[in-house]
A = this chain, B = another copy of it.
Amino acid sequence: MIRVVIIGGGNVANHLIQAFLHSKTVQLLQVYARNTEQVALFSHQISIINNLTFLEEADVYIIAVSDNAISDVSSKIHTSGLVVHTSGSASMASLKNKGRKGIFYMLQSFSKNKKVNFDEIPFCLEAENSEDVKLLEQLSLAIGKKVYHINSEQRRCLHVAAVFVNNFTNHLYAIGNDICDQHHVPFEILHPLIKETALKIQELSPKEAQTGPAKRRDTETIKNHLDLLTTKQQEIYKLLTDSIIHGEKL
């Protein structure tokens, strides 16, 4: 059994708690949350603390807090166990505990009300020595299937790429939703297209999959589209259209 403590009460922490509670090879010892209400859902199943001085000895401490709190929180963990954070962008050096350090980055977007399939999530692992990498591998395989050894530079790159394909993409969905609302069309009509667009690049490269007026240099349609948009929407439309037309090399 790998003994685990989770530090944090946000979405990542909540989904991890749920996953570890269903695992047979992980013993979830404690959860620390500054505000214990954030993890109140699990109060009957695990020990929840809001004071780091009460931390028990564990094999792995998973810090799932906001990036700028990692240093402060980790500096208060005194253990011979492995301390890892779950951030895509924070460095290994942001961990301020005295002992073993590592990264346990799950490349997925966690929302509060949306169930997560851990089998699909890539676990991007890093540690200072191969034994700790192996420990993190075992921990990943206790709840998931896809494990990658990713160094810090690669992880930072993945994180910024993830912002484009996830956060920014979702924002384009929000703009599409706004346009539909403005013209009294149900956004649901666009759901199949959104799904198809995402599934298509599981088979084709995004460059092969590109279609649309910008790709076709269809200036007439582009002009008509701009007429239908708000100033802010126009700005985004123009920049992305220009990037598709001219930016073969980005």
Contacts and interface: CB of A to CB of B under 8 A. Distances in A.
Contact of A199 (B107, B176, B195): B195
Contact of A160 (B146, B225, B243, B244): B225
Interface residues of A, number: 98
Interface string A169-192: 111111111111011110101111
Interface in A1-17: 11
Contacts of A154: 183-185
A121 B218 contact: no
Given A68-B220, A170-B206, A250-B178, A161 B190 contact: yes
B170 A67 contact: no
A187 B161 CA distance: 9
Contacts of A107: 189-190, 192-193
Interface string A15-50: 000000000000000000000000000000000000
Contact of A170 (B156, B171, B174, B209): B209
Contacts of A189: 107, 122, 124, 148, 158
Interface of A: 11, 66-68, 89, 107-111, 113-114, 120-122, 124, 146, 148, 150, 153-154, 156-180, 182-185, 187, 189-216, 218, 220-221, 224-225, 228-230, 232-233, 235-237, 239-240, 243-244, 247, 250
